[in-house]
Amino acid sequence: MKQTSNESTALPAKPGSMEELLRMTRDLGATDLHLTGNMAPAFRVRGLIEPYRCDPYTPKEIQLLLDEIMAQRHKELLRERLSVDLGLHRPGVGRFRVVIYYQRGCLSAAVRLLADGMPSFTELGLPESLARLPRFRDGLVLVTGATGSGKSTTLATIIDEINRSARCTIFTIEDPIEYVHANRSCIVFQRELHTDVTSFAGAMSDSLRQDPDVILVGEMRDPETIRTAITASETGHLVFSTLHARDATSSVNRIIGTFPAGEQNQIRQQLSASLRAVVSQRLLPSSSRNGRVPAVEIMFVNTGIANLIRHGKDEMIYSSIETGLREGMQTMEQSLIRLVQEGRVSADTALSAARRPDLLRQRLGSWAGAV
């Protein structure tokens, strides 16, 4: 049948259900799906946003799509807070984390496809020195970075390794639960914000009376949560959490800066004694255009770094990390240089991710000249 010019240029039909959109996310190899009114669905593939070529959804259609995946409690939270996080599992499709929110008065959603199974440090492309983290007996360990940098996956891998190798109790407090841990050598209790608990801080306080050995708190969002996490790490518990911070130094500054000036010195003293490590990571497009690779800054808190934190000499932390290679530490710039040398990311990608691009350009130039 002969097509008219209008028929030949017609756009593909837009997906009619969330189930179809979730399958498309998986089939396209996307990490994220974005939905909002008056826009076609958009997928993040290899780190770049790619709009789907179809007619835009109306705000009413977005409402109907999101109603498919929200339980009544999610709808109530959305009305109360104007945003809600939830986890989804679709057999044969995958597991997803969904953030539903309003923008310009319309419902919108950001959907993240989670990794299948529980990846190892090697499978994630993380440095070997991070295998030390599950072996700490107590203290505070932070995994930091921007949204979408893989923090939750790194923490899930750490918890899985403890679950396999130790004999203890693990309590997680998450918003939402992304990775489900079966009991192996440990007993794992997973509590979800707004479903099992009302706040991170309250759940942290409760957990200290529930015989925990390891505590994972999904995010350090407020002074009370941070204070309780530090106290728990001081009293013999191993505490893991995330923070939205660019690197190890800014992570320390952000924690201390959360508190009023009169409390900051006390928090600094406590943090210097309880902090064990900070891992700051970014996901970068691979040079092969096949997925993304992690660039990772690693700080293990030794005596010298603890003294710098205690005495407020945060500007010297970077140099201590840079000279701590034998202890498994590395700055973000050292990580980026290694990724370029291994051919895993391009020099341009590395320079765009560097905190100190001039320093990185100089060192990459020296390396290129020596090759």
Spell out the per-residue pLDDT of the chain, length 371, in tens: 344 444 445 778 899 999 999 999 999 999 999 999 999 999 999 888 999 999 999 999 999 999 999 999 899 999 999 999 998 988 889 989 999 999 999 999 999 998 777 888 999 999 999 999 999 999 999 999 988 899 999 999 999 999 999 999 999 999 888 888 999 999 999 999 888 998 898 999 899 999 999 999 999 989 999 999 999 999 999 999 999 999 999 999 999 999 999 999 999 999 999 999 999 999 999 988 778 899 999 999 999 999 999 999 999 999 999 999 999 999 999 999 999 999 999 999 999 999 889 889 888 877 755 54
Reduced to 3 states, what is the DSSP secondary structure of residue 3?
Answer: coil
Look up tokens 């939750």; give the residue. 152
Strands of the sheet containing 48-51, edge to edge, are: 48-51, 42-45, 32-36, 106-113, 94-103, 83-90
> Mind listing the domains of the chain with CATH numbers?
13-113 (3.30.450.90), 121-330 (3.40.50.300)
Q: What pLDDT is stored for residue 3 in this prediction?
A: 42
Q: Is 337 exposed, middle or buried (0-12, 13-18, 19+ CB in 10 A)?
A: buried
> What pLDDT was estimated at residue 290?
77
Strand partners, 89: 95
- pTM of the predicted structure, to 2 decimals: 0.84
Amino acid at 324: G
